[in-house]
Amino acid sequence: MKVMFYVQHLLGIGHLVRASRIASALEADGQDVTMVTGGMAVDGFPDEHVANVQLPPLRSADDSFSGLADEQGREAGDAFLTRRKVALIRSFEDIEPDCLIIEAFPFARRQMRFELLPLLDHVKALPPGKRPMVVSSIRDILQPKSQKRDVATVRLVRDYFDLVLVHGDERFATLDETFSTADSIADRTVYTGMVAAHGTDPCDGDVYDVIVSAGGGAVGGELLGTSLAARALTSLSSARWLVVTGPNLPDPALSRLQSEVADGVEIVRFRPDLAELLRRAKVSVSQAGYNTVADVLRARCASVLVPFAAHGEQEQTSRATRLQADGLAVCIKPDELSPASLAAAIDAACAQHRGHRAGIRLDGAAATAEVLKARHNAFRHGRSA
């Protein structure tokens, strides 16, 4: 099965990371995958064995997603967007996929309608024997929208998509909790479990007691700085700490962190073996993004979560509070974050942690491969009939 997997990350790198993990699982399952990526290039994603077509990069103009900017931060004008749209449809024609996966849309990424709706219209106009199965790939907890928006999303799903993959465990969160019209597409919705990383051997056998991470790093500067200030106030002040800033932390912020570093603390932008390092750590301090939480759950280390909640964002707060209610994390509200509160949360997380396994499915990448194979076989049978 030839698979084209479209993903557009705008601010963080979470969408790209999850899609890359799924693409790698599809490749391992014997499928022929080409990722078509539209954000800023990020080293290591997708994996080197997965084919990648890079569109002219777009990113969010700011952390409120108020507009689209090019690689240099300039507003993306009509000519740029037209070039992107043409390049995307040309990529589809070159790949000739049996399965087209679109990450997030139409549940999110409305900014990309300028290129995705023309692509979907192009696909829909193909003869039945040439049309691929079209799949939407979404996380378990969405940013709630208005009823009107949800109805419009359902219309797009029913017009263009054959399948919606929800990368979560319905025992933890169900789509209807953050998407009001989920019942209208229940006939084409499948839960895969969360997409956690497979472990890789840590570089040089490294072991850190405390790992602080901020996802892509674009909005994690305050958490990183507060963590360094909290270190001396914790019971782990003499332990070995690793601070992973993320590739998108601005250079001035990184320089400030490095100027504050103490003995026993290492600061890096990226560790490809982060998921495995978490397995060896006592405690993780992070935001509550999807991928980080999945990796922490698989690692079974203690966890402190400080969700990103600016500009009305609710997804990370919802995830963090659910995990805290289940005894799987200690949550700090962003407006309550301070060195003292973070130090207390780190010690509390370590004290209450029992290394128990979360009752949440974490095999979502491999499960996605199995679901797509089965659904594509049924799709081909129905098409030929």
Identify the structural domains of the chain with CATH numbers, from first to last: 2-195+362-384 (3.40.50.2000), 203-352 (3.40.50.2000)
Side by side, the strands of the sheet bearing 189-191 are: 51-54, 32-37, 2-7, 99-103, 133-139, 163-167, 189-191
How far out from the chain centre does Cα 229 lie? 28
Q: Report, as an integer, the average pLDDT of 93-111.
A: 97
Give this prediction's pTM: 0.93
Given this model, what pLDDT does residue 203 score?
63
- pLDDT surpassing 90 at residue 137: yes
User: Can you tell me the mean pLDDT for 159-180?
Assistant: 97
Label residue 382 by pLDDT band (50, 70, 90): confident
The 8 Å CB, 24+ separation contacts for 296-302 are 296/329, 297/194, 297/196, 297/328, 297/358, 297/360, 297/362, 298/196, 298/197, 298/362, 299/275, 300/355, 300/356, 300/357, 300/358, 301/353, 302/349, 302/350, 302/352, 302/353
If pLDDT is split at 50, 70 and 90, which confidence band does 385 have?
very low
Measured in degrees and rounded to the nearest 5, phi and psi for residue 265 equal -120, 130
* pLDDT computed for residue 260 by the predictor: 82
Mean pLDDT of the chain: 93
Whole-angstrom distance, CA of residue 341 vs CA of residue 321: 17
Which residue(s) pair with 102 in the sheet?
Answer: 6, 136
Q: What is the per-residue pLDDT across 19-58, written as a single tens digit (0 to 9) for each?
A: 999 999 999 999 999 999 999 998 889 999 999 999 999 9
Amino acid 274: pLDDT: 93
Q: Contact, 266 vs 224, CB < 8 A?
A: no
Output the pLDDT for position 305. Answer: 98
Asked whether 27 and 49 are in contact (CB, 8 A), the reply is yes
The Cα 257–Cα 316 span in angstroms is 24
Across residues 135-157, what is the average pLDDT?
A: 97
CA distances from 159 to 69, 85, 88, 185, 291 (A): 30, 20, 20, 11, 30
* 201: pLDDT strictly greater than 90: no
Residue matched to tokens 């909790």:
177
Q: What pLDDT digit, counting tens, does each position of 285-296 carry? A: 999 999 999 999
Per-residue pLDDT at 321: 97
206-262 pLDDT, tens digit each:
899 999 999 888 888 999 999 999 999 999 999 999 999 998 899 999 999 999 888
Q: Exposed, middle or buried: residue 130 (CB in 10 Å: 0-12, 13-18, 19+)? A: exposed
**pLDDT value for 205:** 75
Torsion sign over Cα 199, 205, 210, 212: negative
Mean pLDDT of 175-182: 98
pLDDT for position 384: 39
Contact by Cβ (8 Å): 251, 267: no
